[in-house]
Chains A and B, each alone.
Chain A
Amino acid sequence: MIGELFIIFIGVVLVNNFVLVRFLGLCPYIGVSRDLKSAAGMGVAVIFVMTMASAATWVIYHYLLASGPHNIWFRLFGDGIDPSAFNFSYLRTIAFILVIAALVQLVEMVITKSSPALYRALGIYLPLITTNCAVLGVTVLNVDSFFPGGEAVPGSFLKCLIQGFGAGVGFTLALILMASIRERLELADVPPALRGAPIAFMIGALMSMAFLGFTGLI
């Protein structure tokens, strides 16, 4: 079990890094990577949101959406009805978006109270986590990998948590590397046409090429 969890973690941090291999969450990756401090803050926020979202969506999916003996609707109203009639997994996207939005509101309130400076540094990107494809992506990926055919694999809750946490760590790693590289490039003689976002995308591309080396590790 420990080994399995370790493989999930390494897989989502290095081999299938959300930013560098799956190309999810590029908006904050380019937008909040101008300096290390706000990149680190954004990374921590994303780790928190991804882990919490993984836990919350597991509960929602397992008990409310997926068909099977755990489905609450089936337990309440299912006498004599085929369990597969209670398969609501087609509501996955909208249900997950709602959960993530509520979570981000929570994070935002905490950061506003605890660190106004970080709140200002994150700017528009914190509310944007709400609709961040990386966060939705990790919850959908959790369902795809740990609910094959709608039935949860053993230990799926813990696995979802680890995958969510790992995805956040992988995102933070990419973001911090990008921010440190961009800080160094502040004084570089980058051609005017490439300054700002273009060179950031090029750095991202080259980093993706470097991370190709981890292909097949798991």
Chain B
Amino acid sequence: MKGKKERLFKVTPAPQLHGGESIPRVMWTVMLALLPAFLASLYFFGWKAFQIEAVSVITAIFTEAVIQKLRGRPVTITDGSAAVTGLLLAFTLPMDVPIWLPAVGAAFGIGVGKHAFGGLGHNIFNPALIGRTFVMHSWLPFMTTWSPPRLAMYAQVDAVTYATPLGAAREAVISLVPSPDGIFSTMDMFWGSIGGCIGETSALALLLGGVFLLIRGYVRWQTPAAFIGTVVLLTWVLPVKEGAIALAPYHHLLGGGLFLGAFFMATDMVTTPVTGAGMLVFGLGCGLITSIVRLYGGFPEGVCYSILVMNAFTPLIDKFTRPRIFGT
């Protein structure tokens, strides 16, 4: 009885104070939280990373402005939501994509993923991930060709073939699987000097941004904790597919897009559940699908798909985790 009492919010009659939150404030704070990962992408992948990010952000903003203008709605590009979508999309692309590819992805993500549903607040799926999945399956070779990060490039002469840690483990390329004396070590994975999408490699930078959002309260602990916890547990317990190399759980933690997905995409306010219990379910589902795809699926990485699938489950989760109305 006591526990129940404490969980009730105190609702007082009007007049009430405005909390001071607004869409621009939230979005530009998220932008600030993405700054470390942005700097890390420049440091590890150089000028090309900046080009991808610029094209993606500009196309996202442009697409949003054109659609809102055509629909006769107020143009809200300064609220930063399109910019965040564009930057997140760029973070999920590898360095070697042609420069038009982020533009196509951003236009599709904003146009079909967001504005076909009525714009910000109505979209069902994460627009950045819709854009990524669209370009991924339209131009698969571009999206699965990896370049080494800048620092590894100097150390290694034939830098033509490279792989992400997860991809190397899947294909059983022993020389590229993280090990103390291999091309990259666990510390490299932590700093970000590994193959991968431009914004996902640096676990440290993403963690900084994620913790910042947690402290500010824009991200609640349930989703990242459930997501990351499930992945660590399942990749630790479950056996790998025949022919693949088993990675340690902390390699699964650092090696792919888990931090980027768990802190910045699975916590999107529009496309994920609103209650704490719902967030736990959402994170569990994401972790389960990510682990299964990584260990047994056709792709080495499953963060993107797991979040999209759970986005589809979100209305259902919200329906079943709705708090009981007081007095019923």
Residues of A bordering B, CB below 8 Å: 36, 176-177, 180-181, 183-185, 188-191, 194, 199, 202-203, 206-207, 209-217
Q: Which 8 A-B pairs have the closest CB atoms?
A: A216-B298, A213-B305, A189-B118, A210-B308, A188-B122, A180-B315, A188-B118, A184-B315
Q: Do A209 and B316 touch across chains, with their CB atoms under 8 A apart? A: no
* In the complex, chain B residues whose CB is within 8 Å of the CB of A212: 133, 137, 305
A-B contact pairs, 11 of them (CB 8 A): A180-B319, A184-B318, A185-B118, A189-B122, A190-B122, A206-B124, A206-B308, A207-B312, A213-B289, A215-B299, A217-B298
**Of B117, B125, B130, B308, which one neighbours A213 at CB under 8 angstroms?**
B308
A100 to B258, CA, bound (A): 46
Given contacts A176-B316, A188-B117, contact A210 B297 (CB under 8 A): no
Minimum C-beta distance from A129 to chain B (A)? 24
Minimum C-beta distance from B115 to chain A (A)? 8
Q: Do B297 and A217 touch across chains, with their CB atoms under 8 A apart? A: yes
Given contacts A189-B118, A210-B309, contact A181 B315 (CB under 8 A): yes
Return the CB mask of B296-316 against A: 1 if under 8 Å, else 0: 111100101110110111011
Q: Do B117 and A190 touch across chains, with their CB atoms under 8 A apart? A: yes
* In the complex, chain A residues whose CB is within 8 Å of the CB of B293: 213-214, 217
Residues of B bordering A, CB below 8 Å: 71, 73, 112-113, 115-119, 122, 124-125, 130, 133-134, 137, 289, 292-293, 296-299, 302, 304-306, 308-309, 311-313, 315-316, 318-319
* In the complex, chain B residues whose CB is within 8 Å of the CB of A191: 71, 115-116, 118
A-B residue pair count with CB separations less than 8 angstroms: 88
Given contacts A210-B308, A213-B305, contact A180 B316 (CB under 8 A): yes
Q: Do A210 and B312 touch across chains, with their CB atoms under 8 A apart? A: yes
Given contacts A176-B316, A180-B315, A181-B315, contact A206 B118 (CB under 8 A): no
